[in-house]
A and B are shown apart, each in its own frame.
Chain A
Amino acid sequence: MRSEVIMLSPFDLVVSACLVLAAGFVSLALGLGLEKRLAIASARTVIQLLLIGFILRWVFAVDSPLVVIVILSVMLVVASRAAVQRPSRTFGGAAWRAFASLLLCGLATTFTVTAAIIHIEPWYQPQYLIPLLGMVLGNSLTGISLCLDHILNDLVCKRDQVEMELALGATRWEAARDIVRDSVSKGMIPIINTMMVVGVVSLPGMMTGQILSGTDPVEAVKYQIVVMFMIAAATSLGCIGVAILVFRHLFNDRHQLRAGLIRTR
Chain B
Amino acid sequence: MLRVDRLSVEVPGKLLLNEVSLVVPPGQGVGLVGPSGCGKSTMLRTIAGLIDARGGTVQLGGVDRAAVGWPEFRRKAPYLSQVPSLVEGSVNQNLERPFTYRSASGGYEREKALRLLRAVGMDETCFSADVRSLSVGEQQRVCLVRALLAEPRFLLLDEPTSALDEENTGRVEALLLEEADRSGLGFLLVTHDREQAVRVCGSVLDLGDFKASSEVTG
Interface members, chain B 50-84 (any A CB < 8 Å)? 50-52, 66, 70-72, 74-76, 78-81, 83
Contact status of A167 and B79, CB under 8 A, knowing A255-B70, A256-B50: yes
Residues in chain B near residue A160, CB distance under 8 A: 81, 83, 85
Interface members, chain B 148-169 (any A CB < 8 Å)? 150
A210 to chain B, nearest CB (A): 47
Q: Are A169 and B150 in contact (CB under 8 A)?
A: yes
Interface members, chain B 112-158 (any A CB < 8 Å)? 146-147, 150
B126 to chain A, nearest CB (A): 19
Cβ of B103 under 8 Å from chain A? yes
Q: Are B101 and A170 in contact (CB under 8 A)?
A: yes
Contact status of A254 and B49, CB under 8 A, knowing A168-B98, A168-B101: yes
Complex Cα–Cα for A129 and B189 (A)? 64
Complex Cα–Cα for A164 and B79 (A)? 8
Complex Cα–Cα for A167 and B74 (A)? 6
Complex Cα–Cα for A257 and B79 (A)? 15
B204 to chain A, nearest CB (A): 24
User: In the complex, how many residue pairs between chain A and chain B have their CB atoms under 8 Å apart?
Assistant: 70
Cβ of B7 under 8 Å from chain A? no
**Closest A-chain residue to B66, C-beta based?**
A254
**The 10 residue pairs across chains A and B that have the minimum distance between CB atoms:** A169-B75, A164-B85, A169-B103, A167-B79, A255-B70, A160-B85, A168-B98, A169-B74, A170-B101, A169-B71
Residues in chain B near residue A171, CB distance under 8 A: 71, 101-103
* A143-176 Cβ-contact flags toward B at 8 Å (1 or 0): 0000000000000000011011111111100100
Complex Cα–Cα for A257 and B50 (A)? 7
* A37-79 Cβ-contact flags toward B at 8 Å (1 or 0): 0000000000000000000000000000000000000000000
Complex Cα–Cα for A257 and B49 (A)? 10
Q: Are B150 and A168 in contact (CB under 8 A)?
A: yes
- Contact residues on A (Cβ < 8 Å of other chain), bracket: 10 to 19
Complex Cα–Cα for A174 and B85 (A)? 16
B155 to chain A, nearest CB (A): 11
Chain B residues close to A by CB (< 8 Å): 48-52, 66, 70-72, 74-76, 78-81, 83, 85-87, 97-98, 100-104, 146-147, 150
Residues in chain A near residue B101, CB distance under 8 A: 165, 168-171, 174
A175 to chain B, nearest CB (A): 9
Q: Are A170 and B71 in contact (CB under 8 A)?
A: yes
Complex Cα–Cα for A161 and B83 (A)? 11
B145 to chain A, nearest CB (A): 12
Complex Cα–Cα for A174 and B72 (A)? 13
Residues in chain A near residue B87, CB distance under 8 A: 161, 165
Complex Cα–Cα for A229 and B97 (A)? 38
Given A167-B48, A171-B102, 6 new contacts (CB under 8 A): A160-B83, A168-B146, A170-B98, A171-B71, A174-B101, A257-B50
Residues in chain A near residue B79, CB distance under 8 A: 167
Q: Are A166 and B50 in contact (CB under 8 A)?
A: yes
Contact status of A169 and B49, CB under 8 A, knowing A160-B83, A161-B87, A254-B70: no
Q: Are A164 and B81 in contact (CB under 8 A)?
A: yes
A157 to chain B, nearest CB (A): 12
A135 to chain B, nearest CB (A): 38
**Closest A-chain residue to B79, C-beta based?**
A167
Contact status of A168 and B81, CB under 8 A, knowing A254-B49, A256-B50, A256-B52: no
A257 to chain B, nearest CB (A): 8
Residues in chain A near residue B78, CB distance under 8 A: 167-169
* A245-256 Cβ-contact flags toward B at 8 Å (1 or 0): 000000000111
**Closest A-chain residue to B146, C-beta based?**
A168
Complex Cα–Cα for A169 and B72 (A)? 6
Q: Are B74 and A256 in contact (CB under 8 A)?
A: no
Q: Are B102 and A174 in contact (CB under 8 A)?
A: yes
Complex Cα–Cα for A186 and B90 (A)? 25
Q: Are B52 and A168 in contact (CB under 8 A)?
A: no
**Closest A-chain residue to B75, C-beta based?**
A169
